Amino acid sequence: MVNMAWLDTQDRHLGHYVNGKWLKPEHRNSVPCRDPITGENLASCPQAQAEDVAAAVEAARTAWENWSGLPGASRAQYLTRLAKMIQKHQRLLWTLESLVTGRAVREVRDRDIPLAQQLLQWHAVQAYTQEETLAGWEPMGVIGLILSPTFSFLEMMWRICPALAVGCTVVVLVPPGSPTPLLLAQLAGELGSFPGILNVINGPASLGPILASQPGVQKVTFCGAVEEGRVLRRTLAGQGAELGLALGAESLLVLTEAADVDSAVEGVVDAAWSDRSAGGLRLLIQESVWDETMRRLQERMARLRGGRGLDGAVDMGARGAAAHDLAQRYVREAQSQGAQVFQAGDVPSVSPFFPPTLVSDLPPASPCTQAEVPWPVVVASPFRTAKEALAVANGTPRGGSASVWSERLGQALELGYGLRVGTVWINAHGLRHPEVPTGGCKESGSSWHGGPDGLYEYLRPSGTPARLPSLSENLNYDTFGLAVPLTLPSGPEIGPSPAAPYGLFIGGRFQAPGARSSRCIQDSKGNLQAYVAEGGAKDIRGAVEAAHQAAPGWVSQPPGARASLLWALASALERRESAFTSALERHGVELKTAKVEVELSARRLRAWGARAQAQGHLLQVAELRGPVLRLREPLGVLAIVCPDEWPLLAFASLLAAALAHGNAVVLVPSGVCPIPALEVCQDMATLLPAGLVNVVTGDRDHLTRCLALHQDVQALWYFGSAQGSQFVEWASAGNLKPVWVNRGRPRAWDQEAQGAGPELGLRAARTKALWLPMGD
């Protein structure tokens, strides 16, 4: 066997592949790489230690200096050569992958390997045109990629291809006992020219933080289980590297009464019982076709074959004892809660083989309904109407992928647009293509691969300084911003008596804060300028609720209507220019600068209004007849903590970008100078729908804490202290909301690139890929 021959070339003793050669350090614990079915020891793998990780990162960093400076055409050539290399050794690759993962060889051979080559080729083209199409962006640097044991080598290809294409270098941390990534790294290394751009080390996921804290590592991408991702998110708060998460593997299938049921049943097989995906499937069936669907499903299940992955005629292999036990536990628990379990298929009855399993009648309140469905289980539940299907489908914390089966175009599109997931296939399941971005939302993480979105994951706007750790070890997450410092009367009020205190702008009007207290705002000379409300947890709750109520209406507005409202707001700003200028002047801003700030703010509102017009586009995928829509959907309720500097301009820039993309917002304005923002609220009160924009003043740390820990805030942008940034990153692990923090670094809001660049647009919306195969 060719795979055994390759293992023999390593004397059945694998190492790490670093800097274009094998690294086999002495005195390491070694872990056996086992055949998941027979348990036979195939080879041994050393567990990496911190110095191995450091060596790999060092190699990647050295390689980066050369690699990132190359013209895109040279990188394109390299990627093409790697694709050829894979083609030459494809038999070795597929037999090895199937042997060690236990997946059906047919799936690896007919899908994964061709897709791996396509990925390299497509990204080669992107590298070739990079100078032209991605001008204004530069590669981040060294990328750390952490894979969990259940993911195939293809997940690695999805991420290393864009990273390498744009000029990053990669260190991949794979769980010990997965030799395919090592083989790929060896193939890449044997091309000779650029050792060190792809390094693979074996080690447990617990090495992740060590990898992330190595100097030079700019981003860490993790794909694996949700809980592991959460832990990693908390651990890496404040670390130098940015974190991208792609979590969970469960998928969803919505089968309506207007579906071609037989084809939809094949969709279920593709999704759960064909070794294509790592996870299980949640199946929603319209009540009127429930019986018919169940009969066809059960009939189809009986024809499935399970067995050793290397057997060319099996549909399902095995995934090792851990996956078996996980499925077993889930099924037992479901059964104990009263669910019906149907198992069929020609599958060996010994562990680690697990038969195709269909669970139905699971009580809605049982814990199993909330838990992620493991491979190879399908959990079926009925729904009555398309509206109910959407409510049920969106009622889970997961947001990976889904398919909709309906021959009625209108219904299919309604469901496709309404599902809160990263990918929707209409009348198909599990299609992948390098050109189509794949990712998720909610707890599935917000990291993307494939398509333009996959490229931006590894790019940053040119001129952005490298990310450095801003970790403060003694930051106490439990107490950060917990209590609001008391504001006591501070001496006599001098000068003219200030106006009545500003309230909190919530639900379209000014309200008194729940705490019934105010904080005083001083001007640049130390005199009392005004009183603003002291917002607290209750006010944040009210603001988020108001934003949620306003969000659906704003989303359904056509971009043109959003644009005209933003333009109207800009005009209002210009009309009251003198008021804003003097408010800024009182804070020590020079008259000239203040005028520029007001003028620029209005311009930002207009610019984003104009950009609201053109969003989303069409992709044409080679093998698919029909289009794939790349939609840009709003994040939902977006919380923004504005920076202290540029009190009006930063506020307007962030607000405009968020609104243009259809988000509802909760803002915390500049702490030292909140008056201009509150003045804008007076205009918004008359112009914008109530609740669309909510502005809460008060202690910034406290408000940040409330927002970051709020489970129903869908994204958070924080511009403030390094400590606050670290807290936001840590707290975002709760609902895994995407966060954007500045780590205490000021931004040049008056510069076009930083104040209104495409980066804001990328962050203000999320992508959804909607596949529309055609044919009659």
Nearer to another protein, 307 or 508 (CB): 307
- 365 phi and psi angles, rounded to 5 deg: -90, 0
* Tokens read off for 631: 């939609």
Provide the minimum distance between the beta carbon of 250 and another protein in the complex, in angstroms, as a whole number.
22
Apex 420 CA angle, 417 and 424, nearest 5: 60
Nearer to another protein, 22 or 342 (CB): 342
Provide the minimum distance between the beta carbon of 211 and another protein in the complex, in angstroms, as a whole number.
39
Q: Which of 51, 262, 493, 590 binds another protein (CB under 8 A)?
A: 262
Q: Which of 54, 70, 115, 258 binds another protein (CB under 8 A)?
A: 258
Apex 69 CA angle, 67 and 72, nearest 5: 80
Within 568-627, the residues that bind another protein by CB under 8 A are 625-626
Query: H helices within 377-527, ranges in order?
Result: 386-393, 409-418, 451-456
Counting contacts by CB under 8 A, is residue 774 touching another protein?
yes
Q: What is the DSSP letter of 497?
A: P
Nearer to another protein, 293 or 714 (CB): 293
Counting contacts by CB under 8 A, is residue 401 touching another protein?
no
Dihedral sign computed on CA atoms, order 443, 449, 450, 454: positive
Within 266-285, the residues that bind another protein by CB under 8 A are 266-267
Counting contacts by CB under 8 A, is residue 538 touching another protein?
no
* Tokens read off for 98: 């199937």
- 715 phi and psi angles, rounded to 5 deg: -160, 155
Q: How many residues bind another protein (CB under 8 A)?
A: 28
Binding mask 216-255 for another protein (x = CB under 8 A): ----------------------------------------
Q: Which of 47, 87, 290, 292 binds another protein (CB under 8 A)?
A: 292
Report CA 87 to chain centroid distance, whole Å. 31
Nearer to another protein, 624 or 666 (CB): 624
Q: Is 592 left (phi over 0), alpha (psi -120 to 50) or beta?
A: alpha
Counting contacts by CB under 8 A, is residue 315 touching another protein?
yes
Could you count the other beta carbons within 10 Å of the beta carbon of residue 464? 17
Provide the minimum distance between the beta carbon of 254 and another protein in the complex, in angstroms, as a whole number.
14
| Range in contact with another protein (rule: CB under 8 A) among 148-156, 260-268, 324-332, 704-712 | 260-268
Task: Give Cβ neighbours of residue 263 (< 8 Å, ≥ 6 apart).
Answer: 405, 427
Binding mask 107-146 for another protein (x = CB under 8 A): ---x------------------------------------
**How far are the Cα atoms of 39, 102, 231, 309, 451 from residue 108, in angstroms, in the given order?**
21, 10, 31, 10, 22
Within 419-448, the residues that bind another protein by CB under 8 A are 427-428
* Tokens read off for 507: 């639900």
Which secondary structure element, helix H or strand E, spans residue 5, and what is its range? helix 2-9
* Tokens read off for 322: 């851990």
Provide the minimum distance between the beta carbon of 626 and another protein in the complex, in angstroms, as a whole number.
7
Task: Give Cβ neighbours of residue 489 (< 8 Å, ≥ 6 apart).
Answer: none
Could you count the other beta carbons within 10 Å of the beta carbon of residue 254? 27
Q: Which of 9, 27, 135, 313 binds another protein (CB under 8 A)?
A: 313
| Range in contact with another protein (rule: CB under 8 A) among 312-320, 482-490, 502-510, 597-605 | 312-320
Of the candidates 622, 455, 435, the one whose C-alpha atom is nearest the C-alpha of residue 75 is: 455
Provide the minimum distance between the beta carbon of 776 and another protein in the complex, in angstroms, as a whole number.
5
Q: Is 11 left (phi over 0), alpha (psi -120 to 50) or beta?
A: left
Provide the minimum distance between the beta carbon of 397 and another protein in the complex, in angstroms, as a whole number.
29
Task: Give Cβ neighbours of residue 455 (< 8 Å, ≥ 6 apart).
Answer: 126, 134, 162, 165, 166
Counting contacts by CB under 8 A, is residue 291 touching another protein?
yes
Q: Is 508 left (phi over 0), alpha (psi -120 to 50) or beta?
A: left
Provide the minimum distance between the beta carbon of 719 and another protein in the complex, in angstroms, as a whole number.
47
Nearer to another protein, 262 or 493 (CB): 262
Q: Which amino acid is at 52?
A: D
Counting contacts by CB under 8 A, is residue 750 touching another protein?
no
Q: Name the residue with tokens 């495409």.
A: 758
Counting contacts by CB under 8 A, is residue 312 touching another protein?
yes
Strand order in the sheet with 357-360: 340-343, 357-360, 377-383, 281-286, 251-255, 401-405, 423-426, 765-771, 627-634, 617-620
| Range in contact with another protein (rule: CB under 8 A) among 330-338, 441-449, 740-748, 767-775 | 767-775
Provide the minimum distance between the beta carbon of 109 and another protein in the complex, in angstroms, as a whole number.
9
Which secondary structure element, helix H or strand E, spans residue 4, and what is its range? helix 2-9
Counting contacts by CB under 8 A, is residue 106 touching another protein?
yes
| Range in contact with another protein (rule: CB under 8 A) among 256-264, 510-518, 583-591, 648-656 | 256-264
Q: Name the residue with tokens 């930002």.
A: 604
Nearer to another protein, 491 or 775 (CB): 775
Provide the minimum distance between the beta carbon of 266 and another protein in the complex, in angstroms, as a whole number.
5
* Tokens read off for 461: 């706007």
Provide the minimum distance between the beta carbon of 88 and another protein in the complex, in angstroms, as a whole number.
22
Counting contacts by CB under 8 A, is residue 294 touching another protein?
no
Q: Which residues bind another protein (CB under 8 A)?
A: 106, 110, 258-260, 262-264, 266-267, 288, 291-292, 295, 303, 312-313, 315, 405, 407, 427-428, 625-626, 773-776
